[in-house]
Amino acid sequence: MSSTRRAGSTLGALRELFLRKALVARKSRLCEAQLADGATPRR
C-alpha cells in the first residue's frame, strides 16, 4: 500500500470518528434539552 493511500485511509477513518462524535454530541444536547423541558426517559 502506498503512503498516499495509507494517509487517505487514515484521514477517512479520522473523519468518520469525528462525524460519529459529532452525532453523539448532537444527540446528547437534544436529550438534555428534552429532559430540561420535562420529558422523561420513558417518553
Residue type, 4: T
pLDDT in tens, the chain (43 residues): 566 677 778 999 999 999 999 999 999 999 999 999 999 877 5
**Phi, psi (deg, nearest 5) at residue 16:** -60, -40
The rounded distance, in Å, linking the Cα atoms of 16 and 22 is 10
Q: Report the pLDDT value the prediction gives residue 22, as an integer from 0 to 100.
A: 98
**Gap between the Cα atoms of 37 and 28, Å rounded:** 14
Written as nine digits, the cell of 39 is: 420529558
